[in-house]
Amino acid sequence: MPDFPDQAEVSRSAKFATRTKLLAHRRRLGDTERAAAAKQVQAGLVALVRRLRPRRVTAYVPVATEPGGPDLPAVLHAALPAGAELLLPVLRADLDLDWAPWTGPDDLAAAGRGMREPTAPPLGRAAVAAADLVVLPALAVDRRGVRLGRGGGSYDRALARVPATTLTVVPLHDGELVNALPAEPHDRPVHAVVTPAGGLRRLDGAAPR
C-alpha cells in the first residue's frame, strides 16, 4: 500500500507554503508604505491601551518588515497608566520565551532570530500569565483567531501560559487577516488583530471567555 502523509505533515507543509507567500508579500512593501502602516497600527494599539488601562502589557520589538515599527514598545509604554509595566520577550536557548521589563530603547540588545531584547533581568517564563494585554507577532491570522507564526513555536508555548480571558492582539499589515489558515492541535487562537485600514478587530470565534 502507498504511504500517505498524516494530517500533521500536511498541515506543516501548508504552513510552510503560506509563510513563504506572506513573507514575499511583506518584502514587496515599500518603506513609505510600511512607515505609514506602522503609525496606523500604533494608533490602534494606543487607543486600546488607553481604554483598558492595563497594569502589565507584554509586547515585542518589530523587526524588518513586521508591522508596528521598531518604536512600538516606546509608543505603548508612553500610553500606559502610571506605574504600569511593559514586558518584552527574551528568547531562551530552547526557543521558549522569558520576559523582561522594557526600560528604554537604549537598553535593548540584538539577540537570536533577529530579535531585540531588553537587557534588564528577566522575570521568568510565567510572567506573561499576569499580563492584562498580550501583543504578539504573526504573519497572518484567520477569522477564527488561528495565527501563523514563523515556525519556532515560541509564542505557542507562551500563549499556553496565558489565561483564556486575557486579551491577545496581533498587529498585521492589510491583507493578512484571512479566511482560514492551516492549524494544528497545539495552535492557540488570538482574540483580536489591528490592521492599518481596519484598526482593532475582535475575532468572534476567539472571544475571551
Where do the structural domains in the chain lie, given as residue ranges?
A: 30-88+129-206
Look at residue 4 and tell me whether its pLDDT is greater than 50. Answer: no
For 30-88+129-206, CATH number?
Answer: 3.40.50.10420
pLDDT digits (tens, 9 = 90+) for 145-168: 999 988 788 999 999 999 999 999
pLDDT digits (tens, 9 = 90+) for 103-124: 999 999 888 777 889 999 999 9
> Residue 68 region, left (φ>0) first, then alpha (ψ -120 to 50), else beta?
left
Kind and range of the H or E run holding 134 = strand 133-135
Residue 130: exposed, middle, or buried by beta-carbon count in 10 A (0-12, 13-18, 19+)?
A: middle
The average pLDDT across 13-23 equals 86
Between the alpha carbon of residue 209 and those of residues 22, 162, 166, 171, the distances in Å are: 30, 13, 9, 21
Kind and range of the H or E run holding 100 = strand 97-101
Q: How many CB atoms lie within 10 A of CB 120?
A: 15
**What is the per-residue pLDDT for 113?**
72
Look at residue 81 and tell me whether its pLDDT is greater than 80. Answer: yes
**What is the per-residue pLDDT for 11?**
62
* Closest to 18 in 3D by CA, of 139, 114, 137: 139
In single-letter form, the type of residue at position 147 comes to R
pLDDT band with cut points at 50, 70 and 90 for residue 126: very high
pLDDT band with cut points at 50, 70 and 90 for residue 186: confident
* Closest to 127 in 3D by CA, of 153, 98, 156: 98
The model's pTM is 0.90
Handedness of CA 168, 172, 177, 178 (dihedral sign): negative
Q: In this structure, what are the phi and psi dihedrals at residue 68, rounded to the nearest 5 degrees?
A: 115, -25
CB 198 within 8 A of CB 178: no
Helix segments in the chain, DSSP class H: 7-28, 31-52, 72-79, 154-159
Look at residue 1 and tell me whether its pLDDT is greater than 50. Answer: no
Between the alpha carbon of residue 192 and those of residues 7, 11, 169, the distances in Å are: 27, 23, 5
Contacts of 33 (CB under 8 A, 6+ apart): none
Round to the nearest angstrom and report the end-to-end CA distance of the chain. 46
